[in-house]
Structure 1
Amino acid sequence: MKLLIELFLLLMLLAVFYTYLGYGLVIYLIVRLRNLMGKKRPVPNDSSFVPDVMLVVPAYNERDCIDEKVNNSLALDYPSDKLHILFVTEGSTDGTTELVEQYAATNPRVHVMGGRQRLGKIEAVNQAMHGIKAPFVIFTDANTTLNSASIKHIIRHFADPNVGAVAGEKRIQLLSSEAAVGSGEGLYWKYESFLKRLDTELYSVVGAAGELFAIRTELYEQVEKDTLLDDFVISLRIAERGYRVVYEPDAYALERPSFSVGDEKKRKVRIAAGGFQAISRLQPLLNIFRYGWLSFQYTSHRVMRWAIAPFCLPLILVLNALLLTLPGNGLFPDTVYQGLFVAQLGFYSAALLGYYLEDRQIRVKMLFVPYYFSFMNGCALLGYVRYRRGNDNGIWEKVRRAA
Structure 2
Amino acid sequence: MTGLAVLVFAVSALGLVHVFVGYPLWMLALARWRPRPVQRRVWTPHVTVVLAVHDGAAHVQAKLANLLALDYPPALLDIVVACDGCRDDSAARCRQPGDAHVRVLEFAERRGKAACLNDAVAQARGEVLLMTDVRQRLEPDALRRLVADLGDPGVGAAGGQLRLFDAQTGFAHGIDAYWRYETLVRTSESRSGSAVGVSGALYAMRRELFRPLPPGTVLDDVLVPMQVAAAGWRVVYEPMAVAWDGTSQQPREEQRRKIRTLAGNYQLVQLAPWLLLPWRNPLWFRFVSHKLLRLLAPWLLLALALSTALLAAHHVLFAMTALALAAALAAVVAGRLLPALGGRLPIRLLTAFCYLNLFAAQALLAFARNRRLHLW
TM-score tier after normalising by the smaller chain length:
over 0.9
Partner of 1:66: 60
1:321 aligns with 2:309: yes
Letter in 1 for 2:360: A
Partner of 1:338: 319
Distance 2:26 2:39 in 1: 27
Contact 1:139 1:211 (8 Å CA) reproduced: yes
Distance 1:118 1:290 in 2: 33
Q: Deviations over 1:233-262 (max 9, x none)?
A: 122122122221110101111000136422
Distance 1:233 1:132 in 2: 20
Distance 2:243 2:61 in 1: 17
Distance 1:203 1:287 in 2: 19
Partner of 1:170: 162
Residue from 288, 295, 302 that aligns with 2:278: 288
The alpha-carbon deviation at position 73 of structure 1 amounts to: 0.9
Residue from 376, 386, 392 that aligns with 2:366: 386
Letter in 2 for 1:26: W
Distance 1:254 1:377 in 2: 25
Distance 2:170 2:82 in 1: 33
Partner of 1:12: 12
Runs of 5+ unmatched residues, structure 1:
35-39, 328-333, 397-403
Letter in 2 for 1:192: E
Q: Deviations over 1:124-163 (max 9, x none)?
A: 1112221112111111111101011100100112222322
Partner of 1:221: 211
Residue from 180, 195, 198 that aligns with 2:185: 195
Partner of 2:300: 312
Distance 1:361 1:85 in 2: 47
TM-score, normalising length: structure 1 = 0.88
Distance 1:13 1:362 in 2: 27
Letter in 2 for 1:310: P
Residue from 189, 206, 209 that aligns with 2:196: 206
Letter in 2 for 1:305: R
Superposed counterparts of 1:272-287, under 5 Å: 272-287=262-277
Contact 2:36 2:193 (8 Å CA) reproduced: no
Contact 1:121 1:395 (8 Å CA) reproduced: yes
Contact 1:172 1:185 (8 Å CA) reproduced: no
Distance 1:288 1:117 in 2: 39
The alpha-carbon deviation at position 316 of structure 1 amounts to: 0.5
The alpha-carbon deviation at position 320 of structure 1 amounts to: 0.5
3-state SS in 1 of match to 2:74: coil
Partner of 1:331: none
The alpha-carbon deviation at position 315 of structure 1 amounts to: 0.9
Superposed counterparts of 1:41-52, under 5 Å: 41-47=36-42, 49-52=43-46
The alpha-carbon deviation at position 373 of structure 1 amounts to: 0.5
Distance 1:251 1:347 in 2: 36
Partner of 2:100: 108
Residue from 117, 126, 145 that aligns with 1:125: 117
Equivalent residue pairs, number: 376
Partner of 1:179: 169
Letter in 2 for 1:57: L
Identity %: 28
1:354 aligns with 2:354: no
The alpha-carbon deviation at position 169 of structure 1 amounts to: 0.8
3-state SS in 2 of match to 1:29: helix
Contact 1:122 1:394 (8 Å CA) reproduced: no
Residue from 155, 160, 174 that aligns with 2:147: 155
3-state SS in 2 of match to 1:114: strand
Distance 2:235 2:161 in 1: 13
TM-score, normalising length: structure 2 = 0.94
The alpha-carbon deviation at position 8 of structure 1 amounts to: 2.1
3-state SS in 2 of match to 1:288: coil
Contact 2:31 2:192 (8 Å CA) reproduced: yes
3-state SS in 1 of match to 2:299: helix
Superposed counterparts of 1:15-34, under 5 Å: 15-34=15-34
1:232 aligns with 2:222: yes
